[in-house]
Structure 1
């Protein structure tokens, strides 16, 4: 059970909280166990020492419910689940192409789901406190408060989608230079770091779809997998149409490269008000001496 203050409105949560992966999504895997959860690529042990699970772990987050004035759980349902659920089923269960408003509803559902799944306060059943290293999005709490008030996602969130078949052939994958993202020192003295989370969901043909969400405050980035056509950018500006069955397929090596194409650890970069990296006077002056960085020109 998720306890604490609601991540959206701050009130005390008196219910079990919100399931980051909704119950209806878990029904896709009923009867398909046993499952093994990987943490940093290694099987995560259960409390009894085993690794196989009859059911996938639930992930809950402190979100207030219908007994509370704001009912943020109900807001999530009416804002994202109602419109997104039929599109998720069409894409993930039936590999159907979608277009227009259906794509927008699907993409908004995915962004919401990864945001909750990778939240620092998310609690996992079975694997408890272990979590998944590298899959925590350090989005400021104030951004979720604004999201609740306006219905808009935080700025500088980008979502990509890729399809993977580790056991099958793939045409190839790009030769990736890892992208080094700097630590941003804002004009107000605050510090902003980038972070990302990747969630994989199985497809009925045995492949996996990966959704990679990157939070990159005040930084403009170029994903080499998007540039070479192996990944599709879904947010911001969702595509007009989406056909997951026709999407290029990465192999196991491509998956490893996709999930590690960027890292945080570059120089601390001071950004003036209204400026972004790498554009702007500061970015242009320091870009030449930034070590290990691969940035758009």
Structure 2
């Protein structure tokens, strides 16, 4: 159950809410179990101690339906599922190349799904609420999902990438990078807020995986080092003109783990000046734990 207030409009939700991963997506894994679920790198055990399940974990989120004037569940379907479903099936099931508006529909579906998957109110059938201590739920700066419902536009400073991973493949030489710890960035005009990071892995044919990664980086001009080296493909913003999953570089298991951990949250609290943004290339200088020193002004910090 996902009772509570709708994450999009605030209306009461008394039904089961929204399946973050839709039923039509679950159908692609029918009869392919048993499945093992992980929290981080650790397998999640059932009460009997076993780690294998016959069914996939489901993630539910409080979203109002036809009994509400807003019917945000129907809006999600009309705005993302109808256009995205055939493109997700083409890319993930058939490994087909897509172009133009089909890539945009695919990218919008992925971005929407990642925004909902680790929402603080999401309930995972295996690990419960994501906003419990020790778990990193994805918190968006205001107006968050309510802004998406009102305008139909994703929040600013949301970036999404995808990568193909072969857990059993030969080792791939990865470029040397420095871990990025994302700070909390704030401005006097109220802009900014907490950064967030989330990844989702989905299976592909031939035992490959696709890793989808979303970073919320308010007021930060972020750069993904794996993108610069051609190891990941940006989906949002500015989706590519064409997407051919069979032509993408393939990471090995170590590369996939590195991708999942590359962006950490909980860095320094950064105070910016009016109209200012935080340049990404200064992040490595401020790998402070939450509650650390406040840095005044990106320009000042960059020259420190």
| Deviations 1:118-153 (CA, angstroms, capped at 9, x unpaired) | 111101113324689665211135221111011101
Counterpart in the other structure of 2:219: 218
Report what 2:87 is aligned to: 87
1:148 to 2:149 alignment? yes
Q: Which residue of 2 aligns with 1:208?
A: 209
| Alpha carbons of structure 1 residues 165 and 227: separation in structure 2 relative to 1, 3 Å | same
Instruction: Give the whole-Å Cα distance in 2 for the aligned partners of 1:131 and 1:55.
Output: 24
**Aligned residues, how many?**
288
1:53 aligns with 2:53: yes
The structure with higher relative contact order (CA 8 Å, sep 6+) is: 1
Aligned equivalents of 1:53, 1:13: Cα separation in 2 = 29
Partner of 1:295: none
8 Å Cα contact 1:157-1:215 kept in structure 2: yes
Cα deviation, residue 273, structure 1: 2.6
Aligned counterpart, 2:33? 33
Residue aligned with 2:24, SS = helix
Shift in Å at residue 230 of structure 1?
A: 0.1
Q: Find the aligned partners of 1:130 and 1:195 in 2 and give their Cα distance.
A: 13
Deviation at 1:40, TM superposition (A): 1.9
Match for residue 15 of structure 1?
15
Distance 1:190 1:46 in 2: 43
Contact 2:91 2:245 in 1 (8 A): yes
Residue in 1 that maps onto 2:301: 286
What is the rounded CA distance, in whole Å, between the counterparts of 2:245 and 2:235 in structure 1? 12
Tell me the alpha carbon deviations over residues 146-196 of structure 1, each in whole angstroms, 9 at most, x when there is no partner.
110111011110001111002012542221211232221321467722110
C-alpha spacing 1:109/1:192, structure 2 compared with 1 (3 Å)? same
Residues 275 and 246 from structure 1, CA distance in 2 versus in 1: closer, same or farther, beyond 3 angstroms? Answer: same
Cα deviation 1:240-265 (Å, max 9, x = unaligned): 00000110000111112111222234
2:293 aligned partner: none
In the TM superposition, 1:185-264 aligns within 5 A as 185-188=186-189, 192-264=193-265
Contact 1:186 1:270 (8 Å CA) reproduced: yes
- Is the partner of 1:233 in helix, strand or coil? strand
Q: Secondary structure at the match of 1:168?
A: coil
Q: Secondary structure at the match of 1:259?
A: helix
Deviation at 1:112, TM superposition (A): 0.5
8 Å CA contact 1:230–1:248 kept in 2: the answer is: yes
Contact 1:3 1:16 in 2 (8 A): yes
Change (3 A) 1:5 1:130: closer
CA distance in structure 1 between the aligned counterparts of 2:278 and 2:46, rounded to whole angstroms: 43
Unmatched tracts of structure 2, length 5 or more: 281-295
Q: How far off is 1:284 after superposition? A: 2.2
Answer whether contact 1:201 1:210 (CA < 8 A) is retained.
yes
> What is the aligned partner in structure 1 of residue 162 from structure 2?
161
Q: CA RMSD in A?
A: 2.0
In the TM superposition, residue 68 of structure 1 has moved relative to its aligned partner by: 0.8
**SS of equivalent residue, structure 1 residue 120:** coil
Cα distance, 1:170–1:241 mapped onto 2, change above 3 Å:
farther
| In structure 2, distance between residues paired with 1:4 and 1:163 | 37
Q: Distance in 2 between matches of 1:206 and 1:220?
A: 35
For 1:294, the equivalent position in structure 2 comes to: none
Gaps in structure 1 of 5+ consecutive residues: 290-297
Contact kept, 8 Å, 1:162 with 1:210, in 2: the verdict is yes
TM-score, with structure 2 as normaliser = 0.89
